[in-house]
Amino acid sequence: MSCPALPEGFDFTDPDLYQHRLPLPEFALLRRTAPVCWIPQPHGIAGFDDDGYWAVTRHADVKEVSTRPEIFSANLNTAIIRFNEHIQRDQIDVQKLIMLNMDPPEHTRVRQIVQRGFTPRAIRALEDALRERAARIVAGAREDGSGDFVTDVACELPLQAIAELIGIPQQDRAKIFDWSNKMVAYDDPELAITEEIGAQSAMELISYAMNLAADRKACPAQDIVSKLVAAEDEGSLGSDEFGFFVLVLAVAGNETTRNAISHGMHAFLTHPDQWELFKRERPATAAEEIVRWATPVMSFQRTATQDTELGGQRIEAGQRVGIFYSSANHDPEVFDHPEVFDITRAPNPHLGFGGGGPHFCLGKSLAELEIRLIFNAIADALPDIRLAGDPRRLRSAWLNGIKELRVTYG
Ligand code: HEM
């Protein structure tokens, strides 16, 4: 069985596809002709004994998969790309300890606990510190005159926001940053990071966070770690669980927001009318459009728990289903002129933060706050920022990443 609409051997998990031609034209083709289509992987994929997956490309179908966890389970690993084999600890399948890979009711319990750290009040409480941090980052870049926007500007705020939120001491933040970079970059040969290094970094980060949790349990402070691990009962996280939660945050909150900011800047600089509009009016709708446009997380996957049907296609129990947010976010059934970057777009029901099910992005408000604060700071202090070269993309089929964006700061 193969997808009749695509050439033999075509596979969306090939990171090289995403280097130059986004959004992929194949998504438009599938949405029109075969919206739920089998993509063979004749050599299988590590950790699975199947030989392919269903590619789900329409907005409505991505939402359906996301919101029906009893049929489309996250439990067998949600990421299409993985380094499962390399993360081994005490013979535990560590992927199962990551909340993204949990199903209800286990997921519900963990989610209810960690949500306490992400209340609107908790996010508002970060706003002044992050605004000040954004202004400092941008002032530093201005002094340099020109440079790489990714390292000078986009990287810093997301990491500081997570570190601030969970209460990671200042002196440990560079370490956390380094580990989280290595965990996701292993598909890019230029970065010379192997899967083993990625997995090793993940283990070091987990150990670090477990120690932090143990410290706070022994000696509680006024921070989220203390709140989440306060007591050893159903209403709090064990040190182990906390370790894996920090792992999820380091990837889910750091790389994603950084890439939204880098893509947002690139979109503004290649759409000068939108940059002028932003500087003048600062529309509240801009952050959502940046996330739709960038779609920093391009896909996740689920596994069918029973025989079912989706978009008129029969799916068998045990088969994997790839949900492609990058396709859904360009679905013309939902978005007028999806190819246009329009920061006043409203409504904007994009799926950049997920398809609305139990795993819907926990950090959406924080991410939008960061995007708003950093672009406000740039508009205030670097209004004449200019592109000085084409972006260099991260080699990945999962993250839509920019690893270098040369600019002059004006
Ligand atoms: C889950 C995207 C920022 C924390 C997710 C999911 C997506 C996503 C697509 C999976 C949704 C699903 O499976 O239905 C993004 C994007 C971001 C961003 C595009 C930035 C623009 C953040 C931030 C944080 C965060 C800043 C926290 C500091 C999480 C967590 C989950 C998650 C913890 C797992 C939730 C669960 O399994 O219940 N995010 N995210 N994300 N995100 Fe985000």
- CA distance to 58, 120, 298, 345, 374, per residue, from 260 (Å): 22, 21, 12, 17, 11
Query: Each residue's pLDDT tens digit in the chain (410 positions)?
Result: 777 889 988 999 888 898 887 889 999 999 999 999 999 987 666 555 678 999 999 999 999 999 999 999 998 766 544 444 444 444 456 667 789 989 999 999 999 999 988 999 999 999 999 999 999 999 999 998 999 999 999 998 998 999 888 888 889 988 988 888 787 665 566 666 677 787 888 889 989 999 999 898 888 887 788 888 886 566 788 888 888 898 888 888 888 999 999 999 999 999 999 999 999 999 999 999 999 999 999 999 999 999 999 999 999 999 999 999 999 999 999 999 999 999 999 999 999 999 999 999 999 999 999 999 999 999 999 999 999 999 999 888 888 999 999 999 98
Closest residue CA from atom 43 of ligand 1: 361
Assigned domain for 9 exists: no
- Determine the Cα–Cα distance for residues 371 and 291; give it in Å rounded to an integer: 9
CATH number of the domain encompassing residue 342 = 1.10.630.10
Assigned domain for 6 exists: no
Assigned domain for 135 exists: yes
Q: Is 355 a pocket residue for ligand 1 (Cβ < 6 Å)? A: yes
Closest residue CA from atom 33 of ligand 1: 362
Name beta bridge partners: 324.
299
Assigned domain for 373 exists: yes
Residue to probe by mutation, ligand 1, list 126, 293, 353, 371, most atoms within 8 Å of CB? 353
Question: Which residues are within 8 A (CB) of 297 and not within 5 positions of it... i.e. 6 or more apart?
Answer: 256, 325, 352, 398, 399, 400
- The total number of structural domains in the chain stands at 1
Q: Which residue has the tokens 């020109």?
A: 146
Domain hosting residue 323, numbered range: 15-408
Assigned domain for 3 exists: no
Assigned domain for 63 exists: yes
Assigned domain for 161 exists: yes
Q: Is 247 a pocket residue for ligand 1 (Cβ < 6 Å)? A: no
